[in-house]
Chain A
Amino acid sequence: QVQLQESGPGLVKPSQTLSLTCTVSGGSISSGNYYWSWIRQHPGKGLEWIGYIYYSGRAYYNPSVKSRVTISFDTSKNQFSLKLSSVTAADTAVYYCASMHCSGGTCYFDYWGQGTLVTVSS
């Protein structure tokens, strides 16, 4: 059973960089069937997919944040990370890390972290 756990500051000042890490247990981040994703949920709102990284290092970002986001991984620690620069209050959200399983033409988010609230405020 794969488990994911987010960690990082819960409070970030405007214009600074939001940094979160997701630690994966029960599975390898180097697995070819998974795309390691970040998804956020603004308070009381729906879900927004931020981007993913594949074990090859290929990443894809949502154009809504593409100019400010970087997703990377550390295979030695079985972790992947999110960096979002120049944050504003609009980036206040619960951030989830999730694994997207893709096989045979189908893809779905099957494992999720519990989510971490990041508030952008001075």
Chain B
Amino acid sequence: DIQMTQSPSSLSASVGDRVTITCQASQDISNYLNWYQQKPGKAPKLLIYDASNLKTGVPSRFSGSGSGTDFTFTISSLQSEDIATYYCQQFANLPYTFGQGTKLGI
């Protein structure tokens, strides 16, 4: 299985801050990586697909980059409604695997 390692596991930031989360794959996954947001008690929601493509309707303050084994997820200006846990997920190989999550708080 491809292991996905996110860093940090938790993060505290202020409204307006620039926030960056990293995700590292245990092997080359090209750009076959997605990012999800999960709020407490809710299902995950797709934000970014193919490492850098913003899903339609998702605010432009969210962005993603990277290829190969190293990926970055950025919120350019943190809003209070962005408090959630964020997961990366690879679809290069079966079984699909997720990172352990990054819990973002204010």
Q: Which residues of A contact B (CB under 8 A)?
A: 46-49, 60, 62-64, 96, 98, 106-110, 112-115
Contact = CB atoms under 8 A, between A and B. Distances in A.
B46 interface: yes
Given A47-B89, A49-B97, A114-B42, 14 more contacts: A46-B87, A46-B98, A47-B98, A47-B101, A49-B96, A49-B98, A98-B43, A107-B32, A108-B49, A108-B91, A109-B34, A110-B46, A113-B43, A115-B43
Interface string B89-106: 101001111111100000
* Chain B interface category by residue count: 20 to 34
10 contacts: A46-B100, A46-B101, A49-B97, A60-B95, A107-B91, A108-B34, A108-B49, A108-B91, A112-B44, A113-B43
Nearest to A50: B95
Contact of B46 (A47, A109, A115): A109
B43 A112 contact: yes
3 interchain residue pairs of minimum CB distance: A112-B43, A62-B95, A47-B98
Contacts of A64: 95
A46 B99 contact: yes
Contacts, number: 48
A47 B51 CA distance: 19
B44 A109 contact: yes
A18 to B, nearest CB: 19
Interface of B: 1, 32, 34, 36, 42-46, 49-50, 55, 87, 89, 91, 94-101
B104 to A, nearest CB: 15
* B96, B97, B98: residue with the most chain A Cβ atoms closer than 10 Å: B96
Nearest to A51: B95
A115 B43 CA distance: 7
B98 A114 contact: no
Contacts of B1: 63
Nearest to B95: A62
A64 to B, nearest CB: 8
Contacts of B94: 60
* A48, A63, A108: residue with the most chain B Cβ atoms closer than 10 Å: A108
